[in-house]
Amino acid sequence: MLVLNPASGQWLGIGVAVHAKDLLTIGEVVDRSGFPHSALRYYEREGLVAATRTTGGQRRYERSVLRRLAFIRAARAIGIGLDEVRTALDALPADHTPTKADWTRLSQTWRGRLDEQIDALVALRDGLDSCIGCGCLSLARCRLMNPDDRAGAAGDGARMLPAALRRTPA
């Protein structure tokens, strides 16, 4: 287990000290993060993570990039678009590895969205046996909720599905 010493920025482990500023190869980051090479290069181009280059042109990432990648994965899993992820990551301190307080502050901004999504998913789960709000008119209840396919005039997709479940991540 590794523990971050906030005073020194040093990771302390069993008999090994690692630093947040230690450099990792792209292969090491791939192995540790689970992201493919192509995703790391894409996130670098998008300014979500940073790499330095060796004299031979190979990428090197600071160990702290692993936290940023974990944050990106979690944000994307709940439907946060990359623009919003970038804005959140830009709010992190550039001069030190983000602390638990930094991550807590960022995650609080999405708490309301998660609560909304949870409520919408519960409503969807509880209504699956009767209607999922698609406007298909295939079930008797749909004729009551959407006679003459009025929802179709609102546009494509499941218009009666809660908005939190209709979001398309960027």
CA 21 to the chain's CA centroid:
24
State whether the Cα torsion 114-116-117-122 is positive or negative: positive
Are the beta carbons of 98 and 92 closer than 8 angstroms? yes
Work out the burial of residue 43: count CB atoms within 10 Å of its CB; fewer than 13 is exposed, 13-18 middle, 19 or more buried: buried
Strand partners, 23: 62
Give, in order, the Cα–Cα distances in Å from 73 to each of 25, 40, 67, 132.
Answer: 20, 12, 10, 28
Global pTM reads 0.61
Ordered per-residue pLDDT tens for the chain, 170 residues: 566 666 556 555 555 555 657 889 999 999 999 999 999 999 999 988 989 998 999 999 998 899 889 888 988 888 888 998 888 888 877 666 667 888 788 888 888 888 888 888 887 777 666 655 554 545 445 555 666 666 667 776 666 666 666 665 54
Are the beta carbons of 169 and 85 closer than 8 angstroms? no
**Cβ partners under 8 Å of residue 60, min gap 6:** 23, 24, 25, 51, 52, 53, 54
